[in-house]
Amino acid sequence: MAAEMPSPRSAWFGHAARQATLLIVQVILAIALCAIVLILAERHNRRFDLTPTKSFVLSDQASKIARKLAQPVKIYGFYNSQEPGMRRQVEDLLEQFNNANGLIHFGLYDLDRSPGLAKKYDIASYNTGVVDADGRTEALSSLDELEIANALLKLTAQGQRTLCFLSGHGEHSPEKSNDRAGYSEVAKALEKENYTIHTLDRLPPGGVPPDCTIVLSPGPSRDLFPGEADQLEDYARHGGRMFILVDPDTSASMLQLLARFNVLPDKDLIVDERNRLYGADSFMPRVPIFDQGTFGKNLDAAAVFSLARTIEPVDAKRKDIIVSLIAMTSPESWARMDEGKTVPDSKVHFRPNVDKNGPLPVAVIANVPTETDKGKTGTTTGRVAVFGDSDFASNFYLNLMGNKDLFMSTVGVLAEDEDLIAVRRKGALHGSMSPISLTAQQGRLIFWSAVIVQPAALMLIGVLVTVRRRRRGGT
């Protein structure tokens, strides 16, 4: 008896059932895969910001401060219900802080509908808030990254840190707000990061005040007062920290003090024709090389100095002092020797066997063993940082490229404060446009390509097209 063959109809239904089953399995697997991806993305959140100003991720400094937090805190933000866009921005920012450290919690409240909570924390304005760490509070005058990071830093800082600026020897003053001679902008930045600023016209008879964490002398042009050099050396020998920034016109007594620390500011002027900023002269060298042993990998932008001189370690009788290079100019730079305080009026040229080739050292740190630890190997608690330019941190140049990061990070190194050794927020100056710093070579390249080459090429193409059409018309 012959086997009964399945009908075409039943075969079709069997094939359709298999296809339907396969489709269902594929859909289930796709849903499961998407669910796994969503779970992993939720637990391991990563954000990549390709905007020039990095406006949608925390800055390196804010991330460091948030990760360092070891106690729970809560951020209370008060917003205006009529500004939903602002609320979304603040919520996104606070979520970034929470992702950086789960101990950071936050709550957003409508100021008009939460009068009791607002009164508790003395809040009277929109888009303000407070950070509460176990009863200790820090007010937020605005709900932005810098304000929140500084509030977290103040709540977690151990002890008070004081920076003592010397001002009686022609230095830049933190109390002056003019562009060239003032250091008020860097003083404000330091105060926001929990430093107290004191200005000393001269050292008192007893020496450096005991509350000074770091003594700064930015650009001294007049001699030290009698006895001050010995007081400063004694301060470093007992574990003190100093930050001295010298210019081509630095006083002789300051140079003699630096010689005690095996540091020699040379009589030269650094020239950087190839990397100079567009529109600037050749005496504004870029400083792109930083010692990773000192700063780690935290400095990602070159600094720009103005009328800088080289700073070199020298072999001297004080063999116990170790001097390390921490910043250097680009390899294309060079030092014009024997110029001292004179800036040439005309264009300068490299003189073989006279001038020095780059890269050139422009910043060093001298490690000074303390008097109490003399004879013990490896103990270098006193530190003296010396830079070959003071203008780069003035109000006029501070926010140019990596100048602010370099100055603040050096203060962090001297104070042994890792939170300061970081890259700070690079905000846009106007609207969403970000500033661009061009070298003279880049400026010339853009000028010739955009103003000369492209229009000339378009004109040439137009002429060729016109000639060809006329030839065709004539034939």
CATH topology of domain 160-420: Rossmann fold (3.40.50)
Residues 311 and 388 sit within 8 Å (Cβ to Cβ): yes
CA 28, chain centre distance (Å): 49
Q: Is 323 exposed, middle or buried (0-12, 13-18, 19+ CB in 10 A)?
A: buried
pLDDT grade for 8, boundaries at 50, 70 and 90: low
Its CATH class, for the domain covering 60-155, is alpha beta
Write out pLDDT tens, residues 240-257: 999 999 998 888 999 999
Mean pLDDT to the nearest integer, 295-307: 87
How far the first Cα of the chain sits from its last, in Å, is 90
CA distance 256 to 65: 40
CB within 8 Å of 170: residues ≥ 6 apart? 219, 220, 221, 222, 251
3-state secondary structure of 3: coil
Radius of gyration for the alpha carbons in the chain, expressed in angstroms and rounded: 31
Mean pLDDT to the nearest integer, 141-166: 85
Q: What is the pLDDT of residue 158?
A: 63
Residue 369, both tokens: 């063993």
**For residue 223, pLDDT beyond 70:** yes
**For residue 391, pLDDT beyond 90:** yes
**For residue 140, pLDDT beyond 50:** yes
Q: What is the pLDDT of residue 433?
A: 41
CB within 8 Å of 441: residues ≥ 6 apart? 274, 275
Residues in a beta bridge with 385:
243, 365
Mean pLDDT to the nearest integer, 286-291: 93
Mean pLDDT to the nearest integer, 184-206: 91
For the chain, which residues make up each domain, given as ranges?
A: 60-155, 160-420
Name which residue leads in pLDDT, 151 or 279. 151
Q: What is the pLDDT of residue 469?
A: 85
What is the residue type of 321? I
Write out pLDDT tens, residues 431-468: 344 455 656 566 667 777 777 888 888 888 988 888 88
CA distance 121 to 118: 5
CA distance 243 to 252: 17
Name which residue leads in pLDDT, 465 or 214. 214
Residue appearing with tokens 């012959």: 2
pLDDT grade for 323, boundaries at 50, 70 and 90: very high
**For residue 381, pLDDT beyond 90:** no
Residue 152, both tokens: 């977290």
Q: What's the DSSP call for residue 291?
A: -
pLDDT grade for 116, boundaries at 50, 70 and 90: very high
Name which residue leads in pLDDT, 161 or 55. 161
Q: What is the pLDDT of residue 261?
A: 93
**For residue 429, pLDDT beyond 50:** no
CA distance 126 to 321: 55
Name which residue leads in pLDDT, 422 or 23. 23
Element (H, E) at 252: helix 252-259
CB atoms within 10 A of CB 224: 23
Q: What is the pLDDT of residue 305?
A: 93
Write out pLDDT tens, residues 64-92: 888 888 889 999 999 998 988 889 999 99
- Among 26-30, 95-99, 230-234, 271-275, whose mean pLDDT is lowest? 271-275
Q: What's the DSSP call for residue 445?
A: H
Mean pLDDT to the nearest integer, 215-232: 94
What is the residue type of 78? F
Percent of the chain with pLDDT over 90: 45
Name which residue leads in pLDDT, 402 or 5. 402
Residue 262, Ramachandran bin (φ over 0: left; ψ between -120 and 50: alpha; else beta): left
> Per DSSP, which regions of 369-469 are E strands?
382-387
pLDDT grade for 471, boundaries at 50, 70 and 90: confident
Q: What is the pLDDT of residue 217?
A: 96
- Among 38-42, 88-92, 354-358, whose mean pLDDT is lowest? 38-42
Mean pLDDT to the nearest integer, 163-175: 93
The alpha carbon dihedral of 68, 238, 187, 388 has a sign of negative
CB within 8 Å of 111: residues ≥ 6 apart? 78, 79, 80, 118, 123, 125, 126
